[in-house]
Structure 1
Amino acid sequence: MEKIVILTGAGISAESGLGTFRDEGGLWSQHRIEDVATPEGFARNPALVHEFYNARRIQAAKARPNAAHEALARLQKDFHGKVTLVTQNVDSLHEAAGAQGVIHMHGTLAGALCASCGHRWPAPPEMMVGEPCTACTAPAARPDVVWFGEMPYFMDEIYDHLAEATLFAAIGTSGQVYPAAAFVYEAQSSGARTVELNLDPSSGASSFDNVILGPATETVPRWVEGLLSRR
């Protein structure tokens, strides 16, 4: 049975109004990564970090899935084999489009995490400094997102999927953040064909068998249509 493993990054949500690291004028351009996306930054200034992620959470809640998200949900539903979605994104746009079982390797804005006991629960729209854990009551609530310097979630599960893939696709990723940037090599070592779909070539584009360039809302539906028409 054919199995497609798809990795998505910020580029697939950009056309839904959620900016990437490199967008000018967006949330990320107003802060240093070290200040808002590292454990050290949270320890130095938790109020700033909560303010940043509260803004991202509000922004993400207003966003709607675009044609690329919808196409991948359709692929997962109609493909004759299996389709596994792995995302670096912390939004829920894949699920909003109808995708099932999405693996959020960098966590999700919709979640809260206790830095003390590790308990997880749904995040309120706004999180505050000293917010208590709903399990141990420690004033240690933080966004349930993976920051730079932390290990992504579900890595063993992801590598198992990559080992079973017959086709690996990376969509809207920069190819600069590891371990995700190495997924193409993991898939190739198991014999999978590989394709990158991106607005511009990523730093690892030369490692893929095929590269398709253009806006995700145009390239992804066309690519999905091609896969489904092969049945």
Structure 2
Amino acid sequence: MMKELKEILQTILKEKKGYLTFLTGAGISAESGLPTYRSIDGILIKGTKYHRPEEFGTYRYFSQNQEEVWQYNLFWKNMIEEAKPNAGHFAITEIEKLLGERFKLITQNVDGLHQRSGTRKVYEIHGSKQKVRCSKGCSEPFDFPENIQAKEYTEDLTPDDIDDLKCKKCGNWLRPHTLWFDESYNEKYYHFDTAYHIADNTDILFVVGTSGSTALPINIVETVKIRAKWIVLINPDNDTHFDYILRGSKTLCSIQESSSVALPQLKRIIEEILK
């Protein structure tokens, strides 16, 4: 499969036209120790202490239970801080350097590991747990306040935590800068229009570590498929929704490997072609 992929890339890189786009999901960060959402030990299976995230991870729930939601998010903050970028993240960073303006990265991940590995241009279509914004919309997203510490899940918020998690402009609660289940994609926060523009101009799309369970990633893949451009699935599991909707496609390559194995190989192939 890598030999076939090299031949495809030789043609695409020679033409010097469209983007080489990466669409990444929770699978690439699983190798850094962060649970995926839909695996057997994932967030959607285990849920929270009392609820499944389809209920818990909503603006409606947050508006009634701000302290509980923040307690959970500070626990996630703890996991993210302990995680480190892996070989897959670093390979993407090196590919960005090789491809320059033709490189695009769209990620469903909210953990910031792509940025921590050195990737410069990242389109986070589900937001970022590294940022917060006013829950009533009076502020643009800004970096997580440094004085608010990560917590274990059983730790309660302190009065100082609660004060620091209130908007300094209007006094309402801050919220995580992430897309909740009862919210819609938009350009302002989640690069909705930009993602479609990238898909419309992509010559080869690498779909890495994502099963195809949310709307915008599915539409990105469908857009590239309709344009009869190449799609490369990189995932140890070959029974995802993307495998299903792309079955029989003449412009599909499937690499049944982990991202930490496949992406360094891909980086080396691109290096060889561009020498």
Q: Could you state the TM-score of these two structures normalised by the residue count of structure 1?
A: 0.91
Is residue 148 from structure 1 mapped to residue 191 from structure 2 by the alignment? no
Greater helix content? 2
| AA matched with 2:209 | G
Q: Which residue of 2 aligns with 1:211?
A: 254
Match of 1:122 among 137, 143, 150: 143
Aligned to 1:230: 273
| Matching residue of 1:57 | 77
Matched residue, 1:166 = 203
Alpha-carbon RMSD: 2.0
Deviates more, 1:37-46 or 1:8-17: 37-46
2:66·2:173 contact (CA, 8 Å) conserved in 1?
no
Percent identity between matched residues is: 27
Residue pairs, 1:1-231, within 5 angstroms: 1-2=16-17, 3-24=19-40, 29-31=46-48, 32-79=52-99, 82-119=102-139, 120-124=141-145, 125-126=148-149, 128=161, 131-134=165-168, 136-152=169-185, 153-201=190-238, 202-206=240-244, 207=246, 209-231=252-274
Any gaps of 5 or more consecutive residues in structure 2? 1-15, 150-156
* Preserved contact between residue 43 and residue 53 of structure 2 (Cα < 8 Å): no
Structure whose CA Rg is larger:
2
One-letter amino acid matched to 1:193? W
SS at match of 2:84: coil
Give the partner amino acid of 1:106: H
- Structure 1, unmatched stretches of 5+, are none
**Aligned counterparts of 1:227 and 1:191: Cα–Cα separation in 2:** 22
1:26, distance to aligned residue in structure 2 (A): 5.8
Q: Structure 1, residues 50-108: CA drift from partner, whole Å, max 9, x if none?
A: 11111111211121100000000000101266111010000111111110110111110
Q: CA deviation at 1:129?
A: 5.0
Q: Secondary structure at the match of 1:166?
A: strand
Contact 1:35/1:42, CA 8 A, preserved across alignment: no
Task: State the TM-score, normalizing by the size of structure 2.
Answer: 0.77
Instruction: Determine the C-alpha separation between the residues in 2 that align with 1:118 and 1:71.
Output: 38
Between 74-83 and 136-145, the greater mean CA deviation after superposition: 74-83
Letter in 2 for 1:188: K
Is the 1:164–1:190 contact (alpha carbons within 8 Å) kept by the matching residues of 2?
no
Q: CA deviation at 1:42?
A: 0.9
What SS is found at the alignment partner of 2:35? coil
Structure 1 ranges of 4+ moved more than 4 A:
23-28, 126-130
In the alignment, the residues of structure 2 paired with residue 5 and residue 161 of structure 1 have an alpha-carbon distance, to the nearest angstrom, of 8
Is 2:110–2:124's contact at 8 Å kept on the other side of the alignment? yes
Which deviates more from structure 2 when the two are superposed, residues 142-151 or residues 203-212? 203-212
**Equivalent in the alignment of 2:8:** none
SS of the aligned residue for 1:184 comes to: helix
1:154 & 1:12 partners in 2: Cα distance? 21
Q: Take 2:262 and 2:81, find their aligned partners in 1: how far apart are those partners?
A: 25
Task: Look up the equivalent residue of 1:67 and give its one-letter code.
Answer: A
Contact preservation (8 Å) 2:195, 2:220: no
